[in-house]
Amino acid sequence: MSSLHILRAAARCSFRPAARFTPASRLLVQRTQVKTFSAVAPLRSAAHENESFEEFSERYENEFNAVNDVFELQRNLNNAFAYDLVPSPSVITAALRAARRVNDFPTAVRIFEGVKFKVENPQQYEEYLRELEPIRQELGISLKEWMYPDHA
């Protein structure tokens, strides 16, 4: 072995910090200090606990009407579809208009996929399609099952 290798090996062994024993009482004090020093995030969902379906629909219509970029659109869609309900056709219409406003065709197609996933049965999905047919024709939005019939 060359002298350089021996020097490196010696340096590694001699400069390693020794393992310290920290008593449990000291760890407990450190944990409580960190806990009292940290900030608590506010619960944002607490304001909407007793929200009716109409209030939910109005809130999301307003949010989709205020969308200015794709990130806001997709964030609002994720939030709207996260609830244990299917958004009303008026909310879907506002989301489709927002997708058109930010020029995002794939998200508009995905909105219909989200509706298809959220409804309980195919008849409800067909009702949504009938209700949303005028806006779909106006904006020129195709359905995934029409674009890719083999994958349906």
> Could you tell me the pTM of the whole model?
0.66
In a domain, 44, yes or no: no
Residue 24's pLDDT band (cuts 50, 70, 90): low
In a domain, 82, yes or no: yes
Residue 26 has a pLDDT of 56
Residue 72's contacts (CB-CB under 8 Å, 6 or more residues apart) are 66
As for how many domains the chain has, the answer is 1
Q: Whole-angstrom Cα distance, residue 26 to residue 33?
A: 11
In a domain, 4, yes or no: no
Percent pLDDT > 90 in the chain is 55
In a domain, 54, yes or no: yes
Q: What is the pLDDT of residues 27-55, one digit of tens each?
A: 555 555 444 544 555 555 555 568 889 99
pLDDT of residue 15 exceeding 90: no
Residue 34 has a pLDDT of 47
pLDDT of residue 148 exceeding 80: no
In a domain, 8, yes or no: no
Domain that holds residue 70: 50-151
Residue 38 has a pLDDT of 47
In a domain, 10, yes or no: no
Assign 3-class secondary structure to 41-76.
CCCCHHHHCCCCHHHHHHHHHHHHHCCCCHHHHHHH
Q: What is the pLDDT of residues 97-120, one digit of tens each?
A: 999 999 999 999 999 999 999 999
In a domain, 134, yes or no: yes
In a domain, 69, yes or no: yes
**Domain harbouring 67, CATH code:** 1.25.40.40
Average pLDDT, the chain: 80
